[in-house]
Amino acid sequence: MANLISDMARSVGLPKLKSAAALLTKRLPIPQPLLWVGPGASGRLGQAIGDFAHQRVLIVTDAVIASLGLMAPLTDALTAAGTPFVVFDQITPDAPIPQIEAGIAVFTGQGCDAIIAFGGGSVIDAAKAIGLSAANGRHPRDLVGYFKGRHGPAPLYAVPTTAGTGSEVTVAAVISDPETGSKLLIADTRIVPDMAALDPCLMTGLPQAITAATGMDALTHAIEAYVGGWGTATTDRLALAAVALVYRYLPLAWRDGQDLQAREKMALASTYAGLAFTRANVGNVHAIAHQLGGKYHLPHGLANAIMLPGVLRFSLPATVTKLAALALRAGVGQAHEGTETLADRFLDSVEALNDSLGIPRLLDALREDDIPALAEAACWEADANYPVPRRMTQEACEALLRAVLPPKAPRTRAPRKTPKPAGNAAPASRAARPKVRR
């Protein structure tokens, strides 16, 4: 993909290429899956899939989900309908290519003719890649980019078990290449699932940290789709609805994981944000987060959440009016306040939301030496793909990364022979300091 875009950019110029892409994405027909929503939706999806009389369905999932027994309503419905299925539960976070290769082998080896993705974004994206690769007889690496491959995948159904990526409705599959430590994008309207179930009962066991990170991923999708340059009336409406839902229900789902209403609203927020960004695209936060995820294997939503406040402040000169509108929908300001005050309130509220969800302000994994290369790759990703409200230079991106770099640990000294009197004691080593800093 990078080669194709850089060749085209050299011949016609990046700004022209992006204007053409904007026109195209505004008009591109993007299919939308039939959605089953509410407690028990995954079983109802299973019944509907049963009606299609597939010869064998590949269920793609991960080992954690398989061990939790969450798939029973779906598999019971398939069994009742007489639809054979085989479970492949080897997907790990960020859909690494070797696991996708193994999934392709099961799909073809078992004579499958449909796929159900049952899991978080990593599982859904892996399933999309398995389907597209199998249909075209090509390696997933060859499908990286836009609209590669002659054929669409076999019928694809999705059951998200996290509320964040929106992958159940998007044209994207983000996979990872362990050989290069990078994340790769496959984009194709044919990989949007045919049907999906948003079932809050599957999300009640999500640990707090995953609830927080995935919820902030949904918020980032909605914000970046809204403040970027490719929004339409429809994507704006969806993005604003998603922001309102996240502000109201993410703290509730985080505090009480069993709150079914909050879980369902977060699942909807994730889907609405997915519908918004699959057309309007994302921006600088994602451009940076993808590099951090590839390099340090950070959860995607966590990387977004940590970068979001700084990137929003950086973009402020170009986004005051839009951030003011977001403040009103998020319920953190009043209409009579000026747009600048409202925009500030929204920026503060994002930081406060992160704090309330236990998301650190600094990124422990980040290393000063890595920053130039991370920034270069992030700027390239943003320049080549995203309709950002304010373009990041290399220096600006490095500064955004340095703003989340933990302070250097003080040198470890040899222990004193005579203990120092109590008082004025500073932590002597990195280990003595709290791991999560604010």
Ligand X SMILES: NC(=O)c1ccc[n+]([C@@H]2O[C@H](COP(=O)([O-])OP(=O)(O)OC[C@H]3O[C@@H](n4cnc5c(N)ncnc54)[C@H](O)[C@@H]3O)[C@@H](O)[C@H]2O)c1
Closest contact distance (angstroms) between CB of 317 and Fe ion is: 24
CB 358, min distance to ligand X, A: 16
Q: Which stretch binds ligand X (CB under 6 A): 29-37, 58-66, 255-263, 393-401?
A: 58-66
Site for ligand X contains 302 (CB under 6 A): no
Residue 203: enclosing H or E segment and its boundaries?
none
Return the residue of 228, 301, 309, 333 that touches ligand X, per CB under 6 A: 301
Binding mask of the shown chain, residues 85 to 114, with x at each position contacting ligand X by CB under 6 A: --------xxx-------------------
Of positions 5, 49, 112, 172, contacts ligand X by CB under 6 A:
172
Query: CB 351: neighbour CB atoms within 10 A?
Result: 17
Q: Is 199 in the site for ligand X (CB under 6 A)?
A: no
Please choose which of ligand X, Fe ion, none residue 283 contacts, taking the beta carbon within 5 to 8 angstroms, the exact cut-off set by kind.
none
Site for Fe ion contains 217 (CB under 5 A)? yes
Q: Which DSSP category does 96 fall into?
A: B
257 binds, among Fe ion, ligand X, none (CB under 5 to 8 A by kind): none
Q: How far apart are CA 157 and CA 119, in angstroms?
A: 11
φ, ψ of residue 160 in degrees (nearest 5)? -70, 140
CA distance 46 to 404: 44
Asked if residues 227 and 171 have their Cβ atoms less than 8 Å apart, the reply is: no
Query: At 171, phi and psi to the nearest 5?
Result: -85, 5
Q: Find the helix or strand (DSSP H, E) in which 87 lies.
A: strand 85-88
Q: What angle do CA 97, 100, 106 make, to 5 degrees?
A: 150
Give the chain's end-to-end CA distance (angstroms, integer). Answer: 38
Q: Is 42 in the site for ligand X (CB under 6 A)?
A: no
Amino acid letter at 144?
A: V
What minimum distance in Å lies between the beta carbon of 134 and Fe ion?
25
CB nearer to ligand X: pick between 170 and 319 = 170
State the minimum distance, in angstroms, from the CB of residue 12 to ligand X.
Answer: 27
Among 25, 90, 211, 214, binds ligand X (CB under 6 A): 214
Rounded Cα distance between 340 and 383, Å, is: 28
Which region, judged by CB under 6 A, interacts with ligand X, from 46-54, 163-171, 234-242, 243-251?
163-171
Residues in the chain: 438
Tokens standing for residue 34: 């039939």
Q: What is the dihedral of CA 109, 115, 116, 120, to 10 degrees?
A: 90
Residue 144 or 276: the one with the smaller Cβ distance to Fe ion is: 276
For ligand X, the binding residues (CB under 6 A) are 62, 64-65, 68, 93-95, 119-123, 125, 161-162, 164-167, 170, 172-174, 202-203, 205-206, 210, 214, 217, 300-301
Residues forming the site for Fe ion (CB under 5 A): 217
